[in-house]
Chains A and B, each alone.
Chain A
Amino acid sequence: MASFGFVSRRAGHGLRQHCATVALTSLTIALTLSVFGGMLLLQINLQKIARGWSDVQLTAYLAPSVGAAELAALQSRLQSFAEIERVHHISQDQAWRDFQAALGAQSALLDGLPRDVLPASLEITLRPEFRDAVTMEPLAARLKQQQEITQLDYPQRWVERLGLALSALRWLKWLVAGVLVLASFFIVSNMIRLALLARRDEIALLQWLGASEALIQTPLALEGAVQGLLGGAGGLGLLWGVYRLLRDDPAGLAELLPALALIEFLDAMSIALIVAIGILLGASASLFASRGMIRSWKASTAQ
């Protein structure tokens, strides 16, 4: 019965008439969602760092006695491992030249050292699906069993720590979001309750004219949803500001933490999630606040 036009006009009318309450409610939702969004931002960027670390190859240092034939056989053997994508040989000479280049102006420090002081090595790149701490440990054990390999370097500890941090963050994000959204739900619903008290006459008039509960509550829920949408947009705006501040780095923090220069903003899915949570939060808080309250009112008690 209630036409969308009537409901949206009532909602628009309510939003225009009570700008201060709308702004305050939206701000509360914005602050809640910016904390949740901040955690999402942290997770996304830690994942990116984790991906970057996982790209670092395992380095297998070879015994000096390994000849060309043994090297070829070893490369062929390793290439047959399911986890390994690529095996690249770095000769002693290449290692020397790489080290020299890395030292740059200080390369004179190497003068007088024999060119075979650095061992030849194999840089082993894993297939993307095996780039995690769970795969790396048993693979490292298998590689160490190869006679030609004397030492193996891989970022196991960091991958493990980052994996743990990411796993914790995945859960913590929802836990914090749950607590914040619940707290925000009650704050917002109480603010809406106060706003409804100010609109008691208007609502009582609708009851008196024979408006159904649905017709009274739907515009209020729509108003709540719009406030949630504004809150979501506000929260994202706050996050964008923080993101730009970190990215532009006016304090020169990137010298201490180079990852800041590569920080990424939320992806489309996360943005949609934040906006959706905002809309749901606003609409449900509004319905929760209005439900019991409106039923208890009597039209004729309004002035």
Chain B
Amino acid sequence: MIQFQQVEKRFTPTLSALAAINLEIHKGELVLLCGPSGAGKSTLLKLIYREEEPSAGAVIVAGQNLKTLNSQGVARLRRRIGLVFQEFKLQANLTALENIALAAEVAGVTKRAAHERGSQLLDELGMAARRDAKPAALSGGEQQRIAVARALVNRPNLILADEPTGNLDAAAAADTLRLFKAIRQQDSTIIIASHDVNLFQDIATRVVQLDQGRIVADSAAGVGTAEWRL
């Protein structure tokens, strides 16, 4: 489903964020990208949704080299990916339901259908009572649930989560973990970038460790230390 072929990403001639990345992620995998800050986890995710372009090599998603995509192609790609970020990125003046429905409307779904899908997700996440609440009135955990619901509303095959528990306390982080477990049962491919290996290690089917822009361990390939047991 996703292939990195000799991918390099340099932000300056001397600063290399990623180097010699060769990685293949298959349908249905839940991959945990781990490593310290600055290891290149977020950059690797950004290459997948074409927020960044590789300086060398190729990133191929569903058989398509992302370098060949024009702006319309990038928009189409992103509509097929569910993205979850550390900062939630909810629109402050929209309600919980409207925030979820926005992603569906951007994908061309009518307002009515988008709100129906949004309501259904809110029910499933146990957030039905908070549907009309604005983000400011929601806790961090609740906001992250809304962000996850927004990522799921278009039923994407691929979900990317960048430090999804980074801004959450332990209880909310555990709650988010349960959410990802539930998503995984729906047979999506999920890639989570997190420095909190312990939290996601139990649900991940594969752990890829990055350090200074290089893959130093991959549980699927048996590369690196045997620390990442699943």
- A210, B91: Cβ atoms under 8 Å? no
- A211, B71: Cβ atoms under 8 Å? no
Q: Using Cβ atoms and an 8 Å threshold, which residues of chain A touch B111?
A: 3, 5-6, 9
Decide if B26 is an interface residue (CB 8 Å cutoff): no
- B106, A211: Cβ atoms under 8 Å? yes
In whole angstroms, what is the CA distance A3 to B110 when docked? 8
Decide if B87 is an interface residue (CB 8 Å cutoff): yes
Looking at A2, A3, A17, A300, the one whose CB has the most chain B CB atoms below 10 A away is: A300
- Closest partner residue, chain B, to A214 (CB atom): B72
- A300, B106: Cβ atoms under 8 Å? no
- B78, A208: Cβ atoms under 8 Å? yes
In whole angstroms, what is the CA distance A5 to B111 when docked? 8
- A299, B71: Cβ atoms under 8 Å? no
- B71, A209: Cβ atoms under 8 Å? no
Q: How many A-B residue pairs have CB under 8 A?
A: 61
In whole angstroms, what is the CA distance A300 to B41 when docked? 14
- A209, B78: Cβ atoms under 8 Å? yes
Q: Place the interface of chain B in its size category.
A: 20 to 34
- A209, B87: Cβ atoms under 8 Å? no
In whole angstroms, what is the CA distance A41 to B71 when docked? 47
In whole angstroms, what is the CA distance A207 to B79 when docked? 10
Q: Using Cβ atoms and an 8 Å threshold, which residues of chain A touch B80?
A: 210
Contact with B along A284-303 (1 / 0, CB 8 A): 00000000000100111011
- B103, A300: Cβ atoms under 8 Å? no
Decide if B77 is an interface residue (CB 8 Å cutoff): yes
Decide if A137 is an interface residue (CB 8 Å cutoff): no
Decide if B175 is an interface residue (CB 8 Å cutoff): no
Known contacts: A3-B110, A210-B107. The answer to whether A17 contacts B93 by CB under 8 A is yes
- B71, A213: Cβ atoms under 8 Å? yes
In whole angstroms, what is the CA distance A170 to B107 when docked? 50
- Closest partner residue, chain B, to A300 (CB atom): B51
Chain B contacts with A in 46-83, Cβ cutoff 8 A? 46, 51-52, 71-72, 75-81, 83
Decide if B21 is an interface residue (CB 8 Å cutoff): no
- B46, A206: Cβ atoms under 8 Å? no
- Closest partner residue, chain B, to A211 (CB atom): B106
Chain B contacts with A in 162-207, Cβ cutoff 8 A? none
Decide if A260 is an interface residue (CB 8 Å cutoff): no
- A210, B106: Cβ atoms under 8 Å? yes
Contact with A along B200-223 (1 / 0, CB 8 A): 000000000000000000000000
Say which residue of B52, B71, B89, B106 sits within 8 Å of A302 (CB atoms). Answer: B89
Q: Using Cβ atoms and an 8 Å threshold, which residues of chain A touch B29?
A: none
Decide if A205 is an interface residue (CB 8 Å cutoff): yes
- Number of residues from A at the complex interface, CB < 8 A: 26
Say which residue of B42, B75, B87 sits within 8 Å of A210 (CB atoms). Answer: B75
Nearest-Cβ distance from residue B154 to partner chain A, whole angstroms: 8
Looking at A299, A302, A303, the one whose CB has the most chain B CB atoms below 10 A away is: A299
Nearest-Cβ distance from residue A65 to partner chain B, whole angstroms: 91
Q: Using Cβ atoms and an 8 Å threshold, which residues of chain B touch A206?
A: 106
Nearest-Cβ distance from residue A220 to partner chain B, whole angstroms: 15
Decide if B102 is an interface residue (CB 8 Å cutoff): yes
- A303, B71: Cβ atoms under 8 Å? no
Nearest-Cβ distance from residue B199 to partner chain A, whole angstroms: 22
Contact with B along A225-264 (1 / 0, CB 8 A): 0000000000000000000000000000000000000000
Known contacts: A3-B110, A6-B105. The answer to whether A208 contacts B91 by CB under 8 A is no
- A205, B91: Cβ atoms under 8 Å? yes
Decide if A1 is an interface residue (CB 8 Å cutoff): yes
Known contacts: A1-B108, A2-B108, A6-B105. The answer to whether A202 contacts B91 by CB under 8 A is yes
In whole angstroms, what is the CA distance A243 to B200 when docked? 73
Q: Using Cβ atoms and an 8 Å threshold, which residues of chain B touch A9?
A: 111
Decide if A212 is an interface residue (CB 8 Å cutoff): yes
Q: Using Cβ atoms and an 8 Å threshold, which residues of chain A touch B71?
A: 212-213, 295
Decide if A276 is an interface residue (CB 8 Å cutoff): no
In whole angstroms, what is the CA distance A213 to B73 when docked? 11
Known contacts: A6-B105, A212-B71, A213-B71. The answer to whether A298 contacts B51 by CB under 8 A is yes
Say which residue of A2, A205, A295 sits within 8 Å of B89 (CB atoms). Answer: A205
9 A–B contacts from the bound complex (CB under 8 Å):
A3-B108, A6-B105, A209-B79, A210-B75, A213-B72, A213-B75, A299-B51, A300-B85, A302-B89
